[in-house]
Amino acid sequence: MAVTGGPGDARGPVADDEGAVVVAPEHRVSQPIVVTNTLWAAADPGAYPTGPTEDTHLADFEQSGQGRRDDARWSGVLEIVPTKADYVLDLIRANSLWPLLSGLACCAIEMMSSATSKNDIDRWGMFPFRASPRQADVLIVAGTLTTKMAGPLIRLWEQMPEPKWCVAMGDCTCSGGRYKRSYSTIQGIDRVMPVDVYVPGCPPRPEGLIYGMMKLQQLILARRGHWPERAIGPTVPVDV
């Protein structure tokens, strides 16, 4: 069996006699670190009188069970038609995504570029960005979410009609990014609201956002018939 060279060996991983790749311990991917879903708080309460954000009511709403209803189906005749109608409706939803204008920081420039003629996100059934949450079903959060902006962002999310989805674009949106452990930054929007697709990068290219939206289309079709099981509150584990 062939082995991998040391840290100074430029050959990197090699294959053994059976064709399997052998990776040295120093070249292996480390296990991800999962941080408990707790918002930042100062050790001295008098240092920052405002304190952390208090916009955590989505988690309480999910625990209450009041939101566990099938909001994705239309009432009336469609409640008794065969399930094939649900499949057709989800095909329509997946190919007519209407994102909401929600640029918070520098990632918004890449989000705008995805709608230009060079990238043309419309080719994949993702329509131009809407300026009203009542006319959108995809919330693309592009940029750093501060504790002061968390309230307005959640308000926009609550004003969007069901069914709706959320895309976290950029490292700051996914995990705090270069402002990790900052007193004024939410360490990932999934600590205050549900997230369906993560698009990492600082900033991600327009192609990355388009790929994330295409994965969202696959996710919409995969969740057919499971709308009451959707995430309502934060999607970060609490009991870690």
Instruction: Report the CATH number that the domain containing residue 154 is assigned in CATH.
Output: 3.40.50.12280
Q: Say whether both 165 and 207 belong to one domain.
A: yes
Q: Say whether both 156 and 88 belong to one domain.
A: yes
Tell me the C-alpha distance between 148 and 66, whole Å: 27
Coil, strand or helix: which one is 167?
strand
Q: Say whether both 20 and 64 belong to one domain.
A: no
What integer pLDDT is reported at residue 19 of this predicted model?
58
With 0-12 / 13-18 / 19 or more C-beta atoms within 10 angstroms meaning exposed / middle / buried, residue 90 is: buried
17: in domain: yes
CB-based contact 227:163 (threshold 8 Å)? yes
What integer pLDDT is reported at residue 197 of this predicted model?
92
206: in domain: yes
> Closest Cα to residue 39, out of 51, 23, 27?
51
Q: Say whether both 11 and 127 belong to one domain.
A: no
Q: What is the DSSP letter of 217?
A: H
Q: Say whether both 69 and 23 belong to one domain.
A: no
Q: Say whether both 9 and 89 belong to one domain.
A: no
Taking CA atoms, 218 is separated from 69, 87, 94, 175, 221, in Å, by: 22, 13, 8, 24, 5
Q: Say whether both 101 and 187 belong to one domain.
A: yes
38: in domain: no
Count of domains observed in the chain: 2
Looking at the DSSP bridge assignments, the partners of residue 22 are: 14
Q: Say whether both 99 and 173 belong to one domain.
A: yes
Q: pTM of the full predicted structure?
A: 0.72
Give the range of the structural domain holding residue 151, as residue numbers without chain letter.
Answer: 57-229
What integer pLDDT is reported at residue 118 of this predicted model?
87
48: in domain: no
Tell me the C-alpha distance between 19 and 75, whole Å: 56
Tell me the C-alpha distance between 26 and 189, whole Å: 32
Q: Say whether both 168 and 216 belong to one domain.
A: yes
Q: Say whether both 7 and 115 belong to one domain.
A: no
Q: Say whether both 21 and 66 belong to one domain.
A: no
91: in domain: yes
217: in domain: yes
Q: Say whether both 1 and 104 belong to one domain.
A: no
Ranges of the chain whose pLDDT falls below 50:
1-11, 74-75, 240
Tell me the C-alpha distance between 123 and 165, whole Å: 20
Q: 153-166, pLDDT tens digit by residue?
A: 998 998 888 888 99
> Closest Cα to residue 151, out of 56, 215, 84, 47?
56
